[in-house]
Amino acid sequence: MLHSSQAVDPSHLETKDVIVVGAGKSALDCATWAARHARSCTLVFRTAHWMMPRYFFGLVRGDRVIMTRFSELFLRYHRRGRIEALLHGPGRPFLRLFWRGLSRILRLMLGMPPALVPEQALPVGFENVGVGGEFYKALRLATLVPKRAQIAAFTGPRTVQLSTGERLDADVVVCATGWRQGVEFLDADLRALVRTDGCFRLYRHILPPLEQRLGFVGYASSTACQLTSEVAAHWLSQCFRGELSLPSTAEMEREISRVLEWASEVVPKCREGYFVGPFVAHYVDDLMRDMGLPRARTGSVLTEYLAPFWPRRYQGLKEERRRAQSAPPIGAQPATSLGPLA
Which tens digits make up the pLDDT trace of 132-183? 889 999 998 889 999 999 999 999 899 999 999 999 999 999 999 988 888 8
Residues above pLDDT 90, as percent of the chain: 78
Fold of 188-324: FAD/NAD(P)-binding domain (3.50.50)
Tell me, what amino acid is at 248?
S
Question: What residues does CATH 3.50.50.60 cover in the chain?
Answer: 2-175, 188-324
| C-beta separation of 274 from 205 below 8 A | yes
Residue 86 in contact with residue 145, Cβ under 8 Å?
A: no
Is the pLDDT assigned to residue 104 strictly greater than 50? yes
User: Does residue 336 have a pLDDT over 60?
Assistant: no
- 128: buried, middle or exposed (CB in 10 Å: 19+, 13-18, 0-12)? buried
| pLDDT attached to residue 200 | 93
| Whether pLDDT at 331 is above 80 | no
Q: Helices 225-240 and 280-291 meet at what angle, rounded to 10?
A: 20
Give the pLDDT score at 220: 85
> What integer pLDDT is reported at residue 341 of this predicted model?
32
Q: Supply the pLDDT for residue 206.
A: 97
Category of 16 on φ-ψ map: left (φ > 0), alpha (ψ -120 to 50) or beta? beta
What mean pLDDT, rounded, does the chain reach?
91
Write down the pLDDT at residue 78. 94
pLDDT at position 328 is 61
pLDDT tens, residue by residue, 298-314: 989 999 999 999 999 99
d(CA 204, CA 3): 31
Give the model's pLDDT for residue 329: 53
Which of the following CATH numbers is that of domain 2-175: 3.50.50.60, 3.40.50.450, 3.30.930.10, 3.30.1280.10?
Answer: 3.50.50.60
Provide the residue type at 263 as one letter.
A
Q: What is the mean pLDDT of residues 209-220?
A: 93
Determine the residue type at 70: F
